[in-house]
Amino acid sequence: DNAFKIVVVRNDVIAGISIVSNSCVNDLITVNDNSSITSGTIISSNWDFGDSSPTANTLNTTHTYTSSGTYIITHIVVSDGGCSSTVTDTITINPLPQALFTATNTCQIQPSSFTDNSTGNPFYWNWSFGDTGTSTLQNPQHTYASSGAYQITLIATTVNGCSDTTTKDIFV
């Protein structure tokens, strides 16, 4: 007496993930589900962002990292057939610079000097001198034609595209 039983082994779901590989602290990061399934539907999705934050249980989600570092994102999907699949990917979160500057010799019709004191290794600078004048030099000079109050803005940006902005009022 031989008994036969047919067993169907299903591997119908493959977890997938799509993320931006480099981002900055406090950026809102979109994490997309790229999972595929040959038959049935995905009934469960779980994201672990690798930073001790609560997990997310949607197919597509967003997340904000508050500290720089390298994190492993884990995505688990489960099909209605009971099969599960897990995928991981790595994301690097770059630190923000801190834009800082000093201004000296703020006298009318004389060059005023602006010194970048930013931290975090900025590589690009965008200055606005409050009178339509601008500069992309690290330590520019600017001459004011009129006396008065001017709002100076410096945007310091790293090679990874992370930036910080500071604004100061000066009197000429």
* pLDDT, tens digit (0-9, with 9 covering 90-100), for 96-139: 999 999 999 888 899 999 999 999 999 999 999 999 999 999 99
User: What contacts 83, CB < 8 A, 6 or more positions away?
Assistant: 10, 11, 12, 13
Query: Which residue's structure tokens are 């992370």?
Result: 162
- Dump pLDDT digits (tens) for 37-59: 888 889 999 999 999 998 998 88
Enter the tokens of residue 142: 């600017």
Q: C-alpha angle 27/168/131, rounded to 5°?
A: 105
* Structure tokens belonging to residue 130: 């409050």
Tokens matching residue 35: 């999972």
Q: Do 143 and 114 meet the contact criterion of CB atoms below 8 Å apart?
A: no
CA distance 17 to 30: 11
Distance in angstroms (rounded) separating the CA atoms of residues 120 and 94: 10
Report yes or no on whether pTM surpasses 0.75.
yes
